Amino acid sequence: MHVDRAGAARAGVGAVVALVLLVAQAAAADEPSLSDVASDLVVPQAVAGEPAPGRRVFSVAPGWEATAVRHTLALPRDWRPGRRFPVLVEYPGNGPYRNARGDVSDGTPEGCLLGHGLSGGEGAIWLCLPCVALGADGTRSVSLSWWGDVQQTLSYCRAAIDDVCERFGGDRDRLVLCGFSRGAIGCGYLGLHDDAIAPLWRAFFCHSHFDGVRLWPYPGSEGSAARERLRRLGGRPVWISHELDVEPTRRYLNDAGLLATAPPGAFTFVPIPFVNHSAAWVLRDIPERARAREWLRAVVGPQGE
């Protein structure tokens, strides 16, 4: 009797592959997903026009009008002239990004989410900033991936913050730097980049990644360079969250000696119980968002003074 051993082997391999796929599909089905929780907030679309309470608009920092660089500005619904408001300054993740779960990041300021979820549209100004690409011919535009020209990016940041504080009551003593993914890394890489910009911030809100935890494809991403930047932190509050697991960042900061020397409560570690690489958890009424809002209130004090 002829036995087709090759065919049997192929069948066996096929059965194993099918089993692996079934297990993977079952595991994926069991993964906690943001799609299982309804949003209770809708991020306002950025539109052309003048800033107004409850409105999110495209804007350009003074001195940058002749460039293709822009940011978005949202005044809270309770904004009034003469009052001082904390400012949530946010950097977006890299783009264009989309994964199999439908998580999306387009790399633009208008794609940011964190500030709206943290404030709910009240009590704080929300300023979403670009990274600035510098062309060989000197043209400047929005960089969708990584930092563009770092000095141009930092220059735009300072100009936009000055404008918001001078014209719209942004409180220079209550600037909170926020970011998702690339933006979370940027809290350290940009926000603590040098001794000129580091003192600006009251606190830092970092979701999904952290400066120095792993190597990335740009100079200065290594842990030793990041630790030098973190030297400028000075004990200020830092929120650190990540999908499912914050332990790699905790270990990094512990190994760097920062947890032992920081003031009590300076670092807040919060795992987000969803597998999604996304900032959209802040658009859902979940305990982690409530905790994030409590953290913000503790950091900036009464809002809209």
Report pLDDT digits (tens) over 109-134: 999 999 999 999 999 999 999 999 99
Claim to verify: residue 13 and residue 95 sit in the same structural domain: no
Q: Which of 206, 203, 214, 207 lies closest to 252, judged by CA?
A: 214
User: Which residue segment(s) compose the domain that 116 sits in?
Assistant: 44-300
Claim to verify: residue 26 and residue 53 sit in the same structural domain: no
Question: Is position 35 within any domain?
Answer: no
Output the domain CATH number for residue 78.
Answer: 3.40.50.1820
CA distance 13 to 10: 5
Q: Which of 221, 152, 167 lies closest to 189, judged by CA?
A: 221
**How many structural domains compose the chain?**
2
CA distance 52 to 94: 29
Is the separation of the CB atoms in 25 and 33 below 8 Å?
no
Judged on CB neighbours under 10 Å (0-12, 13-18, 19+), 134 is: middle
- Report the Cα 122 to chain-centroid distance in Å: 20
Claim to verify: residue 191 and residue 240 sit in the same structural domain: yes
CA distance 107 to 96: 6
Question: Is position 196 within any domain?
Answer: yes
Is the separation of the CB atoms in 63 and 159 below 8 Å?
yes
CA distance 146 to 289: 27
Beta-carbon contacts of 158 under 8 Å, excluding residues fewer than 6 positions away, are 197, 200
Claim to verify: residue 160 and residue 206 sit in the same structural domain: yes
- Report the Cα 27 to chain-centroid distance in Å: 28
Query: Is 36 in a helix, a strand, or coil?
Result: helix
Angle between helices 223-230 and 182-189 (to 10 degrees): 60
pTM of the entire predicted model: 0.90
CA distance 258 to 266: 10
Over its length of 305 residues, how does the chain's per-residue pLDDT go in tens digits?
A: 444 544 444 444 444 334 333 333 433 446 899 999 999 999 999 999 999 999 999 999 999 999 999 999 999 999 999 999 999 999 999 999 999 999 999 999 999 999 999 999 999 999 999 999 999 999 999 999 999 999 999 999 999 999 999 999 999 999 999 999 999 999 999 999 999 999 999 999 999 999 999 999 999 999 999 999 999 999 999 999 999 999 999 999 999 999 999 999 999 999 999 999 999 999 999 999 999 999 999 999 865 45
CA distance 7 to 215: 45
- Report the Cα 89 to chain-centroid distance in Å: 10
Taking residue 139's Cβ as centre, other Cβ atoms within 10 Å add up to 12
Is the separation of the CB atoms in 47 and 138 below 8 Å?
no
Claim to verify: residue 208 and residue 239 sit in the same structural domain: yes
Claim to verify: residue 5 and residue 153 sit in the same structural domain: no
For tokens 């940027």, name the residue: 186
Claim to verify: residue 123 and residue 171 sit in the same structural domain: yes
Helix, strand, coil tally for the chain in percent (to 5): 35, 20, 45
Claim to verify: residue 232 and residue 116 sit in the same structural domain: yes
CA distance 90 to 284: 19
**Phi then psi dihedrals of residue 177, to 5 deg:** -90, 125
Q: Which of 114, 109, 82, 142 lies closest to 204, judged by CA?
A: 114
Claim to verify: residue 146 and residue 191 sit in the same structural domain: yes
Question: Is position 5 within any domain?
Answer: yes
Is the separation of the CB atoms in 123 and 303 below 8 Å?
yes
Q: Look up residue 191 and give its amino acid.
A: G
Query: Is 291 in a helix, a strand, or coil?
Result: helix
Is the separation of the CB atoms in 74 and 56 below 8 Å?
yes
CA distance 6 to 153: 60
